[in-house]
Amino acid sequence: MRHTNLALLLAATLLGCSLDSQPTPPTTNPDAGGGGGGNDAGPEPMDAGPDAEPPPDPVPPTMFAPTAVGKGGAAATVDHRGTWAALEALKAGGNAVDAAVAAAAMLGVTDPFSCGIGGGGFMLVWLADKKQAVVIDHRETTPQGMKHTAYYENGAPIAFNDLLTSGLSVGVPGTLRGWDEALRRYGKRPLADALELAIFVAKKGFDVDATFFDQTTRNIDRFRQIQSTRALFLNAAGDPFPVGAIFTNPDLAATYELIAKSGPAVFYDGDIGKDIVTTVTNPPFTGDATIVSRPGFMALSDLSAYEARVRPAVQTTYRGLTILGVGLPSSGGLTTGMTLNLLEGFDPASMSKADFLHLWLEASRLTYADRNAFMGDPEYVNVPVEGMLSAAYTAERRALIDATTASIDAKPAGNPFAHQADPSGAKAKPPAWVHAGESPADLDPETTHITVADSFGNWVSYTCTIEYEGGNGMVVPGRGFLLNNELTDFNIPATPDTPHPNVLEPGKRPRSSMSPMIVLSNGAPVLALGSPGGATIITTVMQILVNHLDFKMPIDEALAAPRVSQRNAPNATSNAEPLFMSSPEATALEAKGHAFSDAGLIGAATAIRSNDDGTMTAVAEPARRNGGSAMVVEAK
């Protein structure tokens, strides 16, 4: 049964009125071009008089902390309204899956440039009653009518920036199908309940914060050239709504309401799907747009045929703990597992922090070489997972690490096929893939991560995305959400006839770096974490694990510490945050031959750690992306 009148109850409680005084529907900002959007004056408050103030942000300011300790369940996201939605789901009797979906739906409203129903993701779930981990893979897929030559013009690759804001970059969205699959299989409450608070906030509005303003500003050139996006996210002058303005999205509220009433079918087989297809095949650019319109190939049949996959978790061990991650087509779990396997052979207690970080950077270089060479959608590619995680292959690769000197060039991939069990009696040989580098979105800071644990012992580590900041830049007209540019995660070799495991093919899922993780001790979860950040997601998650498990840093300090990322660069340079570059460890690493380039801030992680006294510590970023939010049901 649904949590009766939850939105009205919260409106009454948080906005100071009775249930008999119903919220006034949000007013549409006339400056937003008729598509919804921000409202500098705010939606009309209840019982508004001539001097009435707009309603407050619906989450009390005391709930903005990046760390929380307590019992009864916990959640952490990049945005306090997302975390609040998760906590309300737990308090209403939902479990961690219900809470994760409620948080993601809210972030589709308040963090629309990072995730939403126009994208996809990977949800890692620990089921307490079954003592089992499952993965809900709702990664986007390539439309069936899109050939592998679609990313070439005159025989040459189309530049990333030309693909980004186009119909060609849009994969078939999987987020809503993933939510529905997760809730039907493992949740306690219906999808309509998970959408309820998000609908409330989309209607009533929320305060534009510095992150929302900055994200809009960075994308303003392309947003101005897309009619539906300009109408929603910019004012009449074509500028971002300022910090402190009340932003409403009535179109998304109506979309969520339609989904709550009719279910995912209206998205994948009905009117919403038709609008998605129209947007992809006839991009809504303004008449004076300078962006070259490149229509996509999506058809309603692609949406109708989309399926979320339920897969087993990738599993390895480290320091006596079990590490659970998501498998292909995400490279996150496998690459992390391989790197930790390499590090298992070294004792951090016997050396300095800088010496161990050197080993980690070199190990990461080796595993990224294999990631780039072999990993892709397992429904299309024979990936030697068993060989990659084998003890023999790990020892072979570990022997290549120089304990004293940094590598000065990219490492070649190894031959994990030689360590792959083959019932046919023949060992497969590694294919002669041409190394193709990461896309220009390699350091993209967007995507978002949600971490939830409930009082029943269920845990969820969930990374969702629309890929680049703002996705492909196109709001589906009248629907209030952005589409993804996920297909730019495919590698694009120099010529269309060059083979690679991660090239575009009809129906294929592009390789991902998303790395939701859950760590078990004695068969029970003790830690869950994840982060956004493009290909740096993997190194961010690994560094937090190293900080916490090897350097024994408390989880909040492990998450907040300065970051560095090595992904098999063609030279000795690793990307690093400014605070890392000024650290004593960086100085010591430079003495070993390492170099660092300023990457700005890397990632925006969240985590939950169980404590010996039965409490949980929920953690979000204290500073990155202007700080995240952590909450617990019962504060200690």
- Distance, in Å, from the CA atom of 96 to the CA atom of 83, rounded to the nearest integer, reads 12
Whole-angstrom distance, CA of residue 427 vs CA of residue 421 = 8
Q: What angle is formed at CA 65 by the lines to CA 63 and CA 70, rounded to 5 degrees?
A: 80
**61 contacts: CB under 8 Å, gap ≥ 6:** none
Residue 31's contacts (CB-CB under 8 Å, 6 or more residues apart) are 37, 38, 40, 235, 236
Number of other CB atoms surrounding residue 323 within 10 Å: 23
User: In what helix (H) or strand (E) does residue 257 lie, and over which residues does it extend?
Assistant: helix 250-262
**Dist CA 92 CA 85 (whole Å):** 11
How far is the C-alpha of 103 from the C-alpha of 99, rounded, in Å?
6
* Contact present, 75 and 83 (Cβ < 8 Å): yes
Confirm if 103 and 83 have CB atoms less than 8 A apart: yes
- Using the structure block, give the residue that is written with the tokens 């360590």: 419
Show the DSSP H helices in 269-352 as ranges. 271-281, 300-305, 332-343
- Evaluate whether 99 touches 72 at the Cβ level (below 8 Å): no
- Asked if residues 28 and 235 have their Cβ atoms less than 8 Å apart, the reply is no
Give the burial string for 408-444 (b: 16+ CB within 10 Å, else e): eebbebbbbbbbbeeeeeeeeebeebeebebbebbbb
* Burial group, residue 261, by CB count within 10 angstroms (0-12, 13-18, 19+): exposed
Angle at alpha carbon of residue 561, lines to 134 and 441, rounded to 5°: 65
Tokens matching residue 206: 């929320």
Between strands 573-576 and 595-598, the pairing is parallel
Burial class (CB in 10 A: 0-12, 13-18, 19+), 87: buried
Structure tokens at 475: 């709001």
Question: Catalytic residue among 83, 447, 488, 615, which?
Answer: 447
Could you tell me the CA-to-CA distances from 415 to 79, 396, 437, 512 in Å, in that order?
43, 10, 19, 22
3-state DSSP of 321-332: EEEEECCCCECH
Let me know: does 179 contact 256? Beta carbons within 8 Å: no
Classified as helix, coil or strand, 38 is strand
Which of 203, 232, 245 shows the shortest CA–CA distance to 482? Answer: 232
Residue 508 gets the label, from left (phi > 0), alpha (psi -120 to 50) or beta, of beta
What does the alpha-carbon distance between residue 218 and residue 620 come to, in Å, rounded to a whole number? Answer: 24
Between the alpha carbon of residue 391 and those of residues 231, 261, 315, 365, the distances in Å are 56, 52, 14, 18
| 447 a catalytic residue | yes
**Alpha-carbon gap, residue 608 to 597, rounded angstroms:** 31
Query: Please, what is the Cα angle at 535 between 449 and 518, to 5 degrees?
Result: 40
Residues tagged active-site: 447
